[in-house]
Amino acid sequence: MQITGARMVIEAFIAEGVDTVFGYPGGAIMNVYDEIYKQSGFTHILNRHEQASIHAAEGYAKASGKVGVAMITSGPGFTNAVTGLADAYMDSVPLVVVSGQVPMSLIGTDGFQEIDAVGISRPCTKHNYLVTDAADLPRVLKEAFYIARSGRPGPVHVDIPKDVTAQIAEFNYDVELDLETYKPHTKGNPRQIVKVMEAIAKAKRPLFYLGGGIINAKAAYEVRDLVHKTGIPAVETLMARGVLSFDDELLISMLGMHGSYAANMAMSETDLVIGLGVRFDDRVTGKLSEFAKNADVIHVDIDPASISKLVNADFPIVGDVKNVVNEMIEQSGHINPDKYESWRETISHFDELHPLTFHEDTDRLKPQWVVKRVGELLGDSANISTDVGQHQMWAAQFYPFTRPNQWITSGGLGTMGFGFPAAIGVKTACPDKISINFTGDGSILMNVQELMTAVERKIPVINIILNNNFLGMVRQWQTLFYDKRHSQTDLSVQPDFVKLSEAFGGIGYRVTTKEEFDFALKDAVEKNIVTFIEVVVERFENVMPMVPSGGSLFNMMLLEKKETK
Amino acid sequence: MMTENSERRVVSVIVVNEASVLSRITNLFSGRGYNITSLTVAPIPDSKYSRLTIVTSGSVRVIEQITKQLHKLISVLRVYEHADLVEKEMALVKFPITENLSDVNTLCEAYNGKIVNVGENVVIAMVIDEPKRIDNFLAVIKRYNPKEIVRSGAVALER
């Protein structure tokens, strides 16, 4: 059929099964918004800032496992979205982001709201397109969705000049894609898998090192199966929380800078690292030369460039984690779980020595208690988003995750302001689950305008603001490494968070006791509208354990021992 | 890793011949802190592809990352990290016509070249040889007061 470029965008979205688009209109994208007005195939959610649109699409994608879609205008609309694109790129989140561009005749003339969008998005997307002819749009959009979700997922940006959205051309979406230059390698080398299973059978102290790639590959339940069949203990990265259930006996905990003592010690003592969908991030490894020093390394990843980038892989396998893990399960018959009994005991001993815990030794509430309490009250019924900082680490350490896609956080880029819009996307994708956003008094103000989106569209995100009147994580570093010079991190002057939420039409609570918190959370769940629960917490609480930046995993700063009551 | 030796490498990249593909490649190098000593690019006849020849340097690990990261780009068809190759580079040099032209010409001949243009005040000489030999040539001709030198960057084919 012959339709406009603008209409093609709508038709492509519908053909891809898109049900929600997050966005913000503007001059260069108006033709497409006109078509959005006329259609009923999907819902458009108007965020109040383009960055929030991208994060909402990310939250939607991470919670649903589908491609997230966002739409923005040219110039400032696009530049506002860049942080979101970079965030999605770092965390391998499948997105298609369509932006308007000035008409072709104005490109290069410094036109109103013109910016070289593809020039800017190039280093922070998996791929991008500037569409110069409407006839190319069906193919480009189809490629964009395919590239976003296949291989190592990532954001794809499609920039469309205004005159191209008005141009009429043939639309046929039913075409075979012919991407000669892009063929992700999904099947692991069978001979290498045999060798890997031999290495595992020989190892005395093997350790699963589970990463976010497992969630992207929708392989969490296969990994659970493999872990249980082999009896080999596992550590999770920040992005892998929920791959194993919190109560799984073989799950040690999160490893890395704020990983548990047992997880980091296990990684330091293991003789065989079995890395699945991981990338050996510096926040995980600490000092590289000391990381898993005595171990051989198995590394399974869909992205060949991730393998041996930082840590040399003795057994590299390029492939989709789900395929490879299924192969490994089939060949795991000769592995006897009893063999690792003493290794599991060693790890239990580490955990008894320095368990992941906290002390309730101040008048004010402890932030860790809040996270634990939400876990006790809501557990599996909630999806958990976070912003970035101390609250994020406490949420990762103490929330009882039970399933993949339950945990939505900004890992690689560490984007403050991610949590609230992401939680809006999460709630949109999973309306039956409660959407919690753990945030801090610093982070929440970075996309606080989303209160309006949540109120307008009746998206009942519950924001739990762990308020310590500090940019807590930076304050922690200043306390520990900058001789307590708390430069520009004291947030004593703050808005009234309750009134702030109410001003937009949401509800708010300020709580200082456990009883007040329980009441506020239960009440918020019942009222089912967007909420701020400001929890006044201990100001100087530090996230522990901590591996100082660049230090070895086994050299952790630990929680001071206290007599437990 | 710091102790690993940096070595010169020639990498050929076959890319889809489309707008902004060159910036995808150069962005990758600058963004990840890799070196480009020289880069040449031209379309491959009768195809929708172009071929880039990039001379770079780095440790074994860095070179491996360069080829992997290049291959990860959606527009890249193939990446060859050459071991055994024929490599050539061209240089054009402008000399004052007052220099000893027979000397210049003889030197050029030793490097597969000759004088290719004679003007009122200057002559232009061309040489084609391996990049290392081009270095030698350019060192030798210093005494003839070259006014301008342009190098093409290397092109290479696997043997």
CB A276 within 8 A of CB A208: yes
The residue of chain B with its CA nearest to that of A143 is: B74
- Beta carbons within 8 Å of A223's beta carbon, 6+ residues apart: A208, A210, A214, A243, A244, A276, A321, A325
CB B8 within 8 A of CB B57: yes
pLDDT of residue A563: 62
CB within 8 Å: A181 and B19: no
pLDDT of residue A343: 98
In this structure, what token pair is assigned to residue A300?
């399974």
* pLDDT over 90 percentage in chain B: 91
- Tell me the average pLDDT across A470-474: 98
Identify the CATH homologous superfamily for domain B86-158: ACT-like. Chain A, domain 2 (3.30.70.1150)
Q: Is A50 a catalytic residue?
A: yes
pLDDT of residue A565: 45
The architecture in CATH of the region B7-83 reads 2-Layer Sandwich (3.30)
In the predicted model, is pLDDT for residue A139 greater than 90?
yes
Measured torsion, CA atoms of residues A252, A253, A259, A262, in degrees rounded to the nearest 10 = -20
Of residues B23, B69, B77, nearest to A122 (C-beta): B23
Residue-range domain boundaries for chain B: 7-83, 86-158
The residue of chain A with its CA nearest to that of B2 is: A289
pLDDT of residue A546: 97
Helix ranges (DSSP H) in B73-100: none
Catalytic annotation, pick one of A50, A222, A236, A327: A50
- Tell me the average pLDDT across A126-150: 98
In the predicted model, is pLDDT for residue B2 greater than 50?
no
Of residues B31, B61, B77, nearest to A181 (C-beta): B77
CATH class of A190-353: alpha beta
Q: Is A336 exposed, middle or buried (0-12, 13-18, 19+ CB in 10 A)?
A: exposed
Rounded to whole angstroms, the Cα distance separating A489 from A487 reads: 6
Tokens 């039970």 locate to: A402
Beta strand extents in B1-159 (DSSP E only): 7-16, 38-43, 49-58, 76-81, 85-96, 114-118, 122-129, 148-151, 155-158
pLDDT digits 0-9 by tens, B89-148: 999 999 999 999 999 999 999 999 999 999 999 999 999 999 999 999 999 999 999 999
3-class secondary structure, A533 = strand
pLDDT digits 0-9 by tens, A73-117: 999 999 999 999 999 999 999 999 999 999 999 999 999 999 999
Average pLDDT, chain A: 97
Residue A366: count other Cβ atoms within 10 Å of its Cβ: 19
pLDDT digits 0-9 by tens, A355-393: 999 999 999 999 999 999 999 999 999 999 999 999 999
- A101: β partners: A161
- Beta carbons within 8 Å of A524's beta carbon, 6+ residues apart: A462, A507, A509, A531, A533
Taking CA atoms, B23 is separated from A111, A464, B31, B75, B104, in Å, by 22, 44, 11, 11, 39
CB A169 within 8 A of CB A301: no
The residue among A120, A180, A181 with the most chain B CBs within 10 A of its CB, best to mutate, is: A181
Residue A7: count other Cβ atoms within 10 Å of its Cβ: 22
pLDDT of residue A544: 97
pLDDT digits 0-9 by tens, A400-429: 999 999 999 999 999 999 999 999 999 999
In this structure, what token pair is assigned to residue A523?
């009440």
- Tell me the average pLDDT across A167-187: 94
CB A123 within 8 A of CB A157: no
3-class secondary structure, A111 = coil
In the predicted model, is pLDDT for residue A493 greater than 70?
yes
pLDDT of residue A560: 86
Q: Is A162 a catalytic residue?
A: yes
The architecture in CATH of the region A367-536 reads 3-Layer(aba) Sandwich (3.40)
User: Are both A190-353 and A367-536 of the same fold?
Assistant: yes
In this structure, what token pair is assigned to residue A362?
């101040």
The architecture in CATH of the region A2-170 reads 3-Layer(aba) Sandwich (3.40)
- Tell me the average pLDDT across A26-47: 98
Rounded to whole angstroms, the Cα distance separating A512 from A22 reads: 36
The residue among B44, B51, B72, B78 with the most chain A CBs within 10 A of its CB, best to mutate, is: B72
The edge-to-edge listing of strands for the beta sheet with A43-46 is: A43-46, A20-23, A68-72, A95-101, A155-161, A127-130
In the predicted model, is pLDDT for residue A187 greater than 90?
yes
CB A234 within 8 A of CB A246: no
pLDDT of residue A562: 77
The residue among A101, A122, A289 with the most chain B CBs within 10 A of its CB, best to mutate, is: A122
Catalytic annotation, pick one of A66, A113, A331, A516: A113
pLDDT of residue A64: 97
DSSP state of A338: G
3-class secondary structure, A181 = coil
Residues of A with CB under 8 A from a CB of B: 118-119, 122-123, 126-127, 130, 132, 147, 179-182, 288, 303-305, 308-309
User: What's the number of CA atoms in the CB half-sphere (13 Å) around residue A335?
Assistant: 26
CB within 8 Å: B76 and A123: no
Q: Is A113 a catalytic residue?
A: yes
Q: Is A330 a catalytic residue?
A: no
Of residues B64, B69, B75, nearest to A181 (C-beta): B75
- A236: β partners: A210, A254
Q: Is A16 a catalytic residue?
A: no
At residue A12, φ and ψ (nearest 5 deg) are: -65, -45
CB within 8 Å: B75 and A180: no
pLDDT of residue B5: 81
Number of H helices, E strands in chain A: 21, 20
CB within 8 Å: A181 and B65: no
CB within 8 Å: B74 and A126: yes
CB A453 within 8 A of CB A24: no
Of residues A130, A132, A182, nearest to B74 (C-beta): A182
pLDDT band per the 50, 70, 90 thresholds, residue A178 = confident
pLDDT digits 0-9 by tens, A264-300: 999 999 999 999 999 999 999 999 999 999 999 999 9
Angle of the A76-90 helix axis to the A50-64 helix axis, nearest 10: 30
- Beta carbons within 8 Å of A246's beta carbon, 6+ residues apart: A399, A400, A401, A402
pLDDT band per the 50, 70, 90 thresholds, residue A314 = very high
In this structure, what token pair is assigned to residue A122?
């190039």
pLDDT of residue B4: 67
Catalytic annotation, pick one of A39, A112, A187, A376: A112
Instruction: Give Cα A414 distance to the centre of its chain.
Output: 9
Catalytic annotation, pick one of A126, A142, A162, A433: A162
Return left, alpha or beta for A387; rule: phi > 0 is left, psi -120 to 50 is alpha, else beta.
beta
Measured torsion, CA atoms of residues A193, A223, A146, A27, in degrees rounded to the nearest 10 = -140
- Tell me the average pLDDT across A489-518: 98
In this structure, what token pair is assigned to residue A551?
């230090």
pLDDT digits 0-9 by tens, A215-265: 999 999 999 999 999 999 999 999 999 999 999 999 999 999 999 999 999
User: What's the number of CA atoms in the CB half-sphere (13 Å) around residue A188?
Assistant: 27
In this structure, what token pair is assigned to residue A389?
């900082």
All residues of chain B having their beta carbon less than 8 Å from the beta carbon of residue A304 are 68, 71-72
- Beta carbons within 8 Å of A54's beta carbon, 6+ residues apart: A22, A70, A72, A81, A83, A84, A85, A87, A88, A95, A97, A155
Residue-range domain boundaries for chain A: 2-170, 190-353, 367-536
In the predicted model, is pLDDT for residue A60 greater than 80?
yes
In this structure, what token pair is assigned to residue A27?
């001059």
The residue of chain B with its CA nearest to that of A130 is: B19
- The secondary element (H helix, E strand) that includes residue A69 is strand A68-72
Angle of the A341-353 helix axis to the A261-269 helix axis, nearest 10: 140
CB A259 within 8 A of CB A266: no
pLDDT band per the 50, 70, 90 thresholds, residue B1 = very low
CB A442 within 8 A of CB A504: no
Rounded to whole angstroms, the Cα distance separating A422 from A433 reads: 14
pLDDT of residue A564: 53
- Tell me the average pLDDT across B71-81: 95
Rounded to whole angstroms, the Cα distance separating A302 from A317 reads: 8
Rounded to whole angstroms, the Cα distance separating A67 from A61 reads: 5
Largest CA-CA distance found in chain B, in angstroms, rounded: 55
pLDDT of residue B157: 93
Rounded to whole angstroms, the Cα distance separating A130 from A133 reads: 9
